[in-house]
A and B are shown apart, each in its own frame.
Chain A
Amino acid sequence: MTSQEKLCRFEEQISPHLKSAYNLARWLTRSHEDAEDVVQESFLRAFSAFESLRGENARPWLLTIVRNTSMTWLKRNRSAGAMIGFEEMLVEPSEDSPDPEEILLITCDREQVRQALAQMPLDFREAVILREMEGLSYREISATIGVPLGTVMSRLSRGREWLKRILSTPSSPRPVQPEEGAGPR
């Protein structure tokens, strides 16, 4: 494959997914500038590794690179709160919040949903973004994050429960709302 052919095929198969790449990076890094840096680096990596893409679906392949680049980026720029994502660090919403199974979601306010998503532990957040916004299948998410299928299902389900609790109990004390840490606007 000549460089020109490679460029053509890259622009045909990968470039259309810039939108997904940016959305994922933006929700993982929670910052516009960082997301742009991560996406730029990801595209360079994707271009130099393009020959290794064989037959698989291009979008999950690209999102895997974006996800890994974001994680490296977050580790490198470890800041307070950025690394909350380990399940054991998860602060559960208060016990007296209503059982989420028994009530309907109370709020559909976009800003509240945005805040909740931005505060969600990283492990849950990436699974939920890949599923709900990017529409990836469980199998694709498992390959992208690099965890077994069962872990994907458990993170998705715990992430959703977490969101339901946060979003259905607007009166209970909520975690500190970081100004900068808020999700995309």
Chain B
Amino acid sequence: MNCADSRTYLPAYLDDELDVAESLYVQRHLAACEDCRQAQDAQLALRSALRDPGLYAYPSADFSKRIEATVRRAAKEEARSQRSSWFALLRLDSFRWVPAAAALVIVTTVGAFLITNSMRSSHDQLIASAVLTGHIRSLQPGHLIDVPSSDRHTVKPWFQGKLDFSPPVPDLSELGWTLVGGRLDYVDGRPVAVLVYQRRMHNINVFLWPNHGSADDIIRQEDAQGYQILHWNGAETTYWVVSDLNKAELLELARALRGH
């Protein structure tokens, strides 16, 4: 091994990333070469300067407690949303009678146009809980939007290059839905687009990504912890809409989005 090779291998040698034979070559060269030993000493001096424990940034005890509480709250929310799911609602044990009856009334009222299906698959349950978590997270300060704009011509191009699809961004302002911006989120193992609309003081998160499965355009509805979740599979796009807005108004939005 010559000096040039030795300098190339030196960092990996010191980082313990060479195999035994390679390490041996470097060692032999170092034993014989004063210059390369100096280079090694410089690397080691830098390493010990960087590994100075005084440079390591430790979280405060308060912060550690806060994170623990945050995670426990997320777990509780998840448990609650699983319990309160539509699926559980339909198990007609005595405790569930009242909400089940209420649900039946709603189904009848809304009529044949809207078939409120139960979200049967556990896969849908997982997504519902993910979009709900995404919605709640988005309500924390600074998390709602990545691209603040009411102009669909600003929001739509923003997604380009960030996603492998181009999400439809309809302008629904005439119907009373103000587009406030968009952001990226991560749901069901893939990056998704989120459009944020507002009505009065309510934020509505519209999660969307390409639909590769079957499309029926049927709006499914679920409530969880005071939030409404609407979901349908359009011909090209899967939609999940989450908000604390009342169900009737949210259905208006869903229909408007579906029409586009």
**Which A residues are closer than 8 A to B by beta carbons?**
2-4, 6-7, 10-11, 15, 18-19, 22-23, 26-27, 35-37, 39-41, 43-45, 47-49, 52, 72, 76, 100-105, 107-108, 110, 113-114, 117, 128, 131-133, 137-138, 153, 156-157, 160, 163-164, 167, 183-184
A104-B70 in contact (CB<8A) = no
A105-B49 in contact (CB<8A) = yes
Instruction: Check if B226 is an interface residue, CB within 8 A of chain A.
Output: no
Instruction: Check if B200 is an interface residue, CB within 8 A of chain A.
Output: no
Complex: how many Å from CA A42 to CA B72? 14
Q: A15-B68, A18-B64, A23-B57 are in contact. Are A103 and B42 (CB under 8 A)?
A: yes
Output the least CB separation between B28 and chain A (Å): 20
Output the least CB separation between B43 and chain A (Å): 7
Q: A37-B142, A41-B143 are in contact. Are A133 and B11 (CB under 8 A)?
A: no
Q: Which of B67, B78, B129, B186 has the most CB of A within 10 A?
A: B67
Output the least CB separation between A102 and chain B (Å): 7
Q: A7-B71, A7-B72, A48-B133 are in contact. Are A18 and B59 (CB under 8 A)?
A: yes
Instruction: Check if B163 is an interface residue, CB within 8 A of chain A.
Output: no
Instruction: Check if B12 is an interface residue, CB within 8 A of chain A.
Output: yes
B70-A40 in contact (CB<8A) = yes
Output the least CB separation between A131 and chain B (Å): 7
Q: A37-B142, A156-B11 are in contact. Are A105 and B46 (CB under 8 A)?
A: yes
**Which B residues are closer than 8 A to A by beta carbons?**
7, 11-12, 15, 17, 35, 38-39, 41-43, 45-52, 54-59, 63-64, 66-68, 70-72, 74-76, 78-79, 82, 129-130, 133, 137, 142-143, 146, 184, 186, 189
Q: Enumerate chain A residues within 8 angstroms of B50, measured Cβ to Cβ.
A: 113, 117, 128, 132-133, 163
Output the least CB separation between A163 and chain B (Å): 6
Q: Enumerate chain A residues within 8 angstroms of B70, measured Cβ to Cβ.
A: 40, 43-44
Q: Enumerate chain B residues within 8 angstroms of A133, measured Cβ to Cβ.
A: 50-51, 55-56
Please name the residue on chain B nearest to A45 by beta carbon: B186
Output the least CB separation between A24 and chain B (Å): 9
Complex: how many Å from CA A102 to CA B146? 48
Complex: how many Å from CA A74 to CA B47? 27
Complex: how many Å from CA A102 to CA B79? 61
Output the least CB separation between A178 and chain B (Å): 17
Interface Cβ pair total, 8 Å cutoff? 132
Q: Enumerate chain A residues within 8 angstroms of B74, measured Cβ to Cβ.
A: 44, 47-48
A164-B42 in contact (CB<8A) = yes
Contacts A11-B68, A138-B15 known; list 11 others, CB within 8 Å: A3-B82, A4-B75, A35-B57, A37-B142, A44-B71, A47-B71, A76-B146, A104-B38, A104-B41, A131-B15, A160-B11
Q: Enumerate chain B residues within 8 angstroms of A44, measured Cβ to Cβ.
A: 70-71, 74, 133, 137
Complex: how many Å from CA A160 to CA B50? 10
A4-B79 in contact (CB<8A) = yes
Complex: how many Å from CA A74 to CA B247? 37
Q: A6-B75, A10-B71 are in contact. Are A132 and B51 (CB under 8 A)?
A: yes
B63-A36 in contact (CB<8A) = yes
Complex: how many Å from CA A165 to CA B218? 64
Output the least CB separation between B83 and chain A (Å): 9
Output the least CB separation between A172 and chain B (Å): 17
Q: Which of B75, B82, B186 has the most CB of A within 10 A?
A: B75
Q: A3-B82, A133-B51 are in contact. Are A52 and B67 (CB under 8 A)?
A: no
Please name the residue on chain B nearest to A21 by beta carbon: B59
Complex: how many Å from CA A132 to CA B16? 12
